[in-house]
A and B are shown apart, each in its own frame.
Chain A
Amino acid sequence: MSELRQQLLILYSSNSSPDSSTIGYSMYDGSSDVMSPHEVDTPMPYDTVLDAMRDGWRVIQFPSLGRQKGNELETDYLEFEFVLEKIVEKPHE
């Protein structure tokens, strides 16, 4: 019987469009016991969210738009965070 696990890929885009360029990413892999190291100069896994979708990743969260009135000029978190998933079989040990 297969055991399915979720992989999460979080892509940060330069604007709200899924075809805008990727400025950052995080990877959380539920099929592996190994936590990926956080090297600072790794290449982005995909140039855009759309490229990831074309490679089989499913978007499960889209960034919402707009900032609270009066805070339009504030800067804080990365604004355009797309959460994507793949469901994969857990590798045999």
Chain B
Amino acid sequence: MNNLLNSKEMALFTKQGFLRFDEMIDTDLCKEFFSYMENPESKQYQPQGQLLWDVWDKKSSIGKIIHHPDMIKIIHSLVGKKPRYDHHFPHKTHPGKGLQHLHQDAEYDRRDHQFDIQISLYPQDTSLEMGGTRFLPSSHFRKVNEATIGRYQHIRGMQQMVCKAGTVLVWHTGLWHAAQPNISENKIRYMFKLRLNPMEKQQRLFDTSDLNDPEISKLLNQTYLWHGQSHRRELFNRIKFWRYISDQPDYDLDMWMTRNENSTHYYKRSQVT
């Protein structure tokens, strides 16, 4: 098994701003993880700025999850081998609680192409009624100011996490999202969140052996209905991001950037006859 995400998976991440891995963590480890989630001390931030791999004991349930081979694969491919621990939080939402306004976590992040990731782990079967995270695919390049988008309720293509235990959602910190209310009768919803910073250039951190697969340009070209009239501008966002993470400064789709960069001569008025 390859120990890195491939280029097609990274193109999918570029297009939609997240990757979903269903039932990645086995149910026994998920069950073991509940003792950590229920421990009030789990809510304490670890000292920020540490190397992730040093934060938790490898033998603890959270340590086993962080060091799970598939988790390492995801982390290495997106933020590199030396990820910095930013913060974490174990969410526990009782029935009748949990409604959040749509928001963006990292509006203050003004980096052009470098990005942090958030990892959300759902350690139990999460039904629609339990109110898993809702999010808007392909919103990650839109810098808005935190919950100024709070009045947006329904946007075409929005998704909500409904999943089996052990499912992991890995997302770009620019993705618009919110917790849904827990409207179940008696099920507490659990979700563990971890944010990581890259500590190296996020270029070609993934498996690039399929970099020339034609499927990649198809993925990057796909439209979202909700982009409406801004679809072309979203393509520019994707091309710039893909150029950076794949280290292909001349990469383009249908010549969109090439046209824009075709800065020709500017004739002096006297030269125009």
Contact = CB atoms under 8 A, between A and B. Distances in A.
Interface of A: 10, 12-15, 20-21, 23-27, 35-42, 44, 73-80
Interface majority SS on A: helix, strand, loop or mixed?
A: loop
Interface of B: 99, 134, 141-144, 148-149, 151-156, 158-160, 178, 180-181, 183, 225-226, 228-230, 233-234, 236-237
Contact of A76 (B99, B144, B181, B226): B144
Interface majority SS on B: helix, strand, loop or mixed?
A: mixed
B159 A73 contact: no
Most buried by B among A24, A27, A38, A73: A38
Nearest to A15: B229
B199 to A, nearest CB: 28
Given A37-B181, A38-B134, A24 B149 contact: no
A55 B228 CA distance: 24
Contacts of A74: 233
B226 A23 contact: yes
Contacts of B181: 37
Given A73-B236, A75-B233, A36 B228 contact: no
B155 A14 contact: no
Given A73-B236, A79-B228, 12 more contacts: A10-B151, A12-B155, A24-B155, A25-B153, A26-B153, A27-B153, A37-B181, A38-B154, A39-B160, A40-B158, A75-B230, A80-B228
